[in-house]
Amino acid sequence: MVDLEHINFTENDLIASICRSSFYEFVKEFWSTIITEKPVWNWHIKYLCNELQKVAENVFLDLPKLYDLIINISPGSTKSTICSVMFQPWVWIRMPEAQFVTASYGHILATDLSRRSRDIIMSERYKQLFPEIILRCDQNVKTNFMNEKGGFRMAVGAGGIVGFHGHFIIIDDPLNPEQAVSEAELKSTNNWITGTLLQRKVNQAKAPTILIMQRLHQDDPTAFLIEKAKEEQRIAILEEGVDAPYKLKHICLPAEKSRDILPRYLKNYYKDGLMDPIRLGKAILREKKTAGDIFYSGQFMQNPIPAGGGMFKADRINIDVLEVHKIVAQVRYWDKAGTPTGKGAFTVGFLMALDTKKRFWIRDVIRGRYSSEIREDLIKQTAIIDGKSVVIGIEQEPGSGGKESAENTVKNLAGFTVRIDKPSGSDSSKEARADPFSVQVNMGNVSMEKGEWNRALIEELRYFPFSKFKDQVDAGSGAFNILSKGMGTVGAFLRNR
């Protein structure tokens, strides 16, 4: 039995023990070491600390990572202090040999975050509580420092060369707002993250990636890594034949309560509709809004609607049940693509109906990448399922190839009512074709039947015309225009019902 009466515990021993067991307590203890402002301990700080600790505990135990972590949160919410400054010094008191590779959009920012972490480690308070952590004299610069147990931190700007491997990869604001409007910069940054930075892990199965940023674009690193995780999951399911875990956790904390909050239950922590009513109170947010809707929507609401976007107010589409006997007419419009694999355009079959009250209903959306043969068979089989009362719209692309493709589809649909749609002149742009459809959506005159396809369609509508893909909007616009202008067929005219 241990004789506790003869063991001398000091106050520092107790504080050190508490800090080792809780990252949140460590943050509170060392706040004043690098920050002069009085702390405001809003709920999100403890939540983020606990989430980071959860990820780290698996690394300490040398177990496969739970998941990669993406945190979307407003500027001015202590995100970098928690994730990029204090996390690494705390990890070292549990795992001194831990290796960190950290990155930000610019070398100056990456250096500053690294320097502040080093300031904590070199502080008298840190030395008092954790004297075992000693920085090496021969490797102790702001962007690259190491302790005597082998742990190190290397900081780089986006696009920089990474010469080491890490147990943790931390990416804090990989884009600045100016870069986000450039497709070339977006692509370059995303490719650097996946092709360079994420390859610098001590163990791919165990080392987590932690991305912290405010949203800036529909295809920014947040969206890019989410899609990458989904693709990895799909491949794992195909190869292993069983359900595979989704190895990514997405935390999204808009400044104001919205449907974009993730995980969903966190909305219960919002006070008066605000994530942080002290740091980001109503007066402060009103001021931020004066910088423009696009700025505020992306950086504070984590909903990056691009400049010029927002043609469709997708939130005004009602998800409801259509009473079939009230259908006046229906169109299944096909926007065809010939890409069977990869990341090209989609083939889309968009079914829209008009009811007796002149409301428009989105009933079904088929979307996929198919070879020409499979695509034509799908169009024929869908026509059979929809029935002959449904008019089929086929877009004819410009040129002889587009004409031939449309004519082949018409031949394949012998016995069905088909209309070839030939966009031309000022009405041929996707934006011009979508305009009448968007008016009805924005007036609340469009409803949608519930289906698995709802989410992808709403996402594309919200960002159009700067959405990553436009095929669903194009097909929906085609279906709407046929329904609203009167239904014709090849070689005949079908009166409106």
pLDDT at 298 over 70: yes
Given pLDDT bands bounded at 50, 70 and 90, which one contains residue 488? very low
Q: Which residues contact 68 (CB under 8 A, 6 or more apart)?
A: 208, 209, 210, 211, 225, 229, 247, 248, 249
Element (H, E) at 473: helix 471-485
pLDDT of residue 411: 94
Residue 83 or 161, more confident = 83
Of 269, 299, 329, the position where a domain reaches its end is 299
The answer, yes or no, to whether residue 308 has pLDDT greater than 60, is no
Give the CB-side neighbour count of residue 138, counting CA atoms within 13 A. Answer: 2
Number of independent structural domains in the chain? 2
Residue 421, pLDDT > 80, answer: yes
Is residue 62 over pLDDT 50? yes
Q: Helix, strand, coil % (nearest 5) of the chain?
A: 45, 20, 35
Domain assignment present for 309: no
Q: 172-191, pLDDT tens digit by residue?
A: 999 987 766 677 888 899 99
CA distances from 190 to 171, 184, 223, 438 (A): 12, 10, 10, 32
**Between residues 425 and 453, the one the model is more confident about:** 453
The pLDDT of residue 344 is: 77
Residue 436 lies in a domain: yes
Q: Is residue 290 part of a domain?
A: yes
The pLDDT of residue 492 is above 50: no
| pLDDT at residue 489, as a whole number | 40
What does the DSSP assignment read for 179-233? HHT-HHHHHHHHHHHHHTGGG-BS-TTTPPEEEEE----TTSHHHHHHHHHHHHH
Q: Give the per-residue pLDDT at 490.
A: 34
Burial state string for 126-145 with b = 16 or more CB within 10 A and e = fewer than 16: beebbeebebeeeeeebbbb
Residue 92 burial (C-beta neighbours within 10 Å; 0-12, 13-18, 19+):
buried
225 and 265 part of one domain = yes
pLDDT of amino acid 268: 97
Looking at residue 495, what is its pLDDT?
38
What is the domain range of residue 281? Answer: 4-299
Residues 83 and 11 both lie in one domain: yes
Is 491 a residue whose pLDDT tops 70?
no
Q: What is the CATH number of the domain that holds 22?
A: 3.40.50
Q: Give the contacts of 286 (CB within 8 A, at least 6 positions apart).
A: none
Q: Is residue 434 part of a domain?
A: yes
